[in-house]
Structure 1
């Protein structure tokens, strides 16, 4: 594998520079607890399963700030300490692998949770201004968020790329470009190649995007991406944000589309997928928030079943793409034919002295999901998913506990469909008939900042 710059060289350069002139360092520590149970409600084809997490994560960041107003160095590590190790990867801790490296490629998928430390950031950055155009460029190992590119678990236990990102601004117009050739999933300690469904290495992925925001609240955005030799991707978004009487209104339309000119997981070429999303949020001056989101999916790209996937490489955790909606409700609501509706309600926070308590509930209903037989032919549109989320959060406005926040999230979801074919190797709804998921997540986060 050709390297832009050796990992050890880049780490040493960034660390030496950042340590010499560090202006700010931060440590974000989180405790994550999870219990998720998947259970069949008909004669099971597999027994009930439980996903378990009981782990402390910590992210350490150090930045030099812009030296002379134009050059900076950043470095960061993340670590995990498990109190309970799951039989499968929980995705919020490091995961064991049969072999870290196989045929020169990193195995990023999991067997058991592990303790460990990994480098997630080591970058050099520059900024400048040409006439009225402001721009920033950074390169190295880092999270990239540009065009149609994103990260897994971007908030506390982040994934990161080896690559570069350029960001620019000119009045109400912003633009960005990113290039990468490797990725480290949050639960991996090593950086691995991008792969297509046949495990052939994708040499690089790149993306570009542009956004314009008008003074009257309207905005528009477009982006495109390319995985060399395998896939291209497009994204369009338009919306408006402003006042509507006593309410703040934010409404937008999102369109996601990919075309895989290479083969999918069952050997078909020239497959595609698209999602159309309508999103609306209404916030009253007193703090009430009502949200409504609709997602319609059409796809013929095969994974286990036809699913819309946001990433430009194949295999879960091999990279990540951009999605501007996420309901934190176990399912991705991304199957062929699926029509999903999410209704959310958030009341005003309760202020108990310096303690603020927030809450919310989401109701989710999806239907029209395609079923398929063993020959990969569509048989019906009778699959469904229905459930709800409940959230409770705590934060402090002042005092020694101000950097501490806590959140509780519970999901109950049922999914099912017509029992089609006991020999069907693919369709979730054909194989299982009806299943139920209960998912509890508890997270405590404490962030401390040390200024130089």
Structure 2
């Protein structure tokens, strides 16, 4: 697959060169590559202070200590070309990160974690004495470098280092940059129906400089990932999204079904089913049911969501957690997963029932354009692990955002987000419950400044 990918990429690059050369005598043919292109980017600052409690021998919480404490700078530059002869173009993006300070855990995801990959976690150089505390690296990495193709009126394709954009079960991890697959995709749209196929042989989360292979739950070579998907929108606006994905040399598979619609009163609703099959991790097929709703009324916006998870562990007495991606290892890949509560926990343990509520207000009607603020909360219960209290976890968050309206920084945004998370079990972090940690307080400050060089 690696040889095939490189061969196809080389052939595609040759195609671009050939088209450019053949059009040299006619500027009108070649000019759309540059005249229809755009160059943009952003400069961002991310400050975070997260404290986490531990547990003593009796299962009681200890005082909180610093878990994350860093200030990170990020910049990216993106080029999106037009199409040569309405056929082939190029998308490219590079990004750089820098830690202004880092005084706690090294794996904070907003700079490069200076290890080889998320599976082996071997330091990249001898300056890293402990991968969990001092193993950061400033630097530059490639986020996108993909040839793009227009195949007639309704079909497209990509080849290279890219982010999936056609229907599939594949998604990417995010920092200020997206994760990157190496491979290709093809998609087509016909009368409200969109179809997609994605194939990739490597991936990298944005906090790694280099891409790496896919591995199974038991850390064996998983070959490539492939995924197909379809979306269909009816005339009444009701949309259905289905997808299926798998590994070529591994057991793991995933699939989803999502319905999305809007009621006459403006209520957006979406029942969803996510499924993961992995005989190396789960004792039976794992799934998560979700209901997502949202609506706006005047200056106010509301969300109400709920999930139920079934993720039976291979290990007796352990409460496993559900992950919607084609690798168990976090950072090894990601899935097309719509649920994001931003209340620290994933609320995704076996037999856990969880609820989420959020309300926010836009203050533009009282002479504060660009300013909004809100509150959210989540609560989960129902999971059990042998030897520990039954799971009960909950959190609340306060958040505010301001978009600068005038001056040199017009368009820049400032965001504040504070979360207090509570775990009422007596289980130590990651024990009994595989995706559970102790009480936390978490503060984030984000300044994002987008810019455009050419539109």
* Fold shared by both chains (TM-score > 0.5): yes
Deviations along 1:233-273, one digit per CA (max 9) or x if unpaired, are: 110011312531xxx21011000011114x23xxx7x6431
Normalising by structure 2, what TM-score?
A: 0.84
Shift of 1:398: 5.1
Structure (1/2) with the larger strand percentage: 1
Deviates more, 1:314-323 or 1:187-196: 314-323
Number of the residue aligned with 1:118: 141
Kept in 2: contact 1:391–1:410 (CA 8 A): yes
Shift of 1:91: 0.7
Describe the shift of the 1:14–1:77 C-alpha distance in structure 2 as closer, same or farther (beyond 3 A). Answer: farther
Number of the residue aligned with 2:25: none
Number of the residue aligned with 1:277: 290
The counterpart of 1:395, out of the listed 378, 388, 403, is 403
* Residue ranges of structure 2 left out of the alignment (5+ in a row): 21-29, 125-129
Q: Residue 348 in 1 paired to residue 348 in 2?
A: no
Q: Residue 84 in 1 paired to residue 101 in 2?
A: yes
Describe the shift of the 1:372–1:102 C-alpha distance in structure 2 as closer, same or farther (beyond 3 A). Answer: closer
Number of the residue aligned with 1:2: 2
Q: Distance in 2 between matches of 1:33 and 1:102?
A: 27
Kept in 2: contact 1:196–1:313 (CA 8 A): yes
Q: Distance in 1 between matches of 2:41 and 2:16?
A: 16
Once the two structures are superposed, the pairs formed by residues 182-261 of structure 1 within 5 Å of their partners are 182-228=202-248, 229-244=250-265, 248-261=266-279
The counterpart of 1:357, out of the listed 358, 371, 376, is 371
* Residue ranges of structure 1 left out of the alignment (5+ in a row): 374-378
Once the two structures are superposed, the pairs formed by residues 26-105 of structure 1 within 5 Å of their partners are 26-40=40-54, 43=60, 48-85=65-102, 86-97=104-115
Kept in 1: contact 2:170–2:325 (CA 8 A): yes
Q: Distance in 1 between matches of 2:45 and 2:203?
A: 25
Deviations along 1:298-337, one digit per CA (max 9) or x if unpaired, are: 1014698401011101311011112111011111111111
Number of the residue aligned with 1:449: 452
Q: Distance in 2 between matches of 1:344 and 1:338?
A: 20
Aligned length: 426
Kept in 2: contact 1:394–1:406 (CA 8 A): yes
Residue 202 of structure 1 aligns to a residue in which SS? coil
Deviations along 1:76-134, one digit per CA (max 9) or x if unpaired, are: 1111011112432101110122x579999998x9542220101111110111336xxx1
Q: Distance in 2 between matches of 1:298 and 1:27?
A: 41
Describe the shift of the 1:301–1:124 C-alpha distance in structure 2 as closer, same or farther (beyond 3 A). Answer: farther
Shift of 1:207: 0.8
Q: CA RMSD in A?
A: 3.5
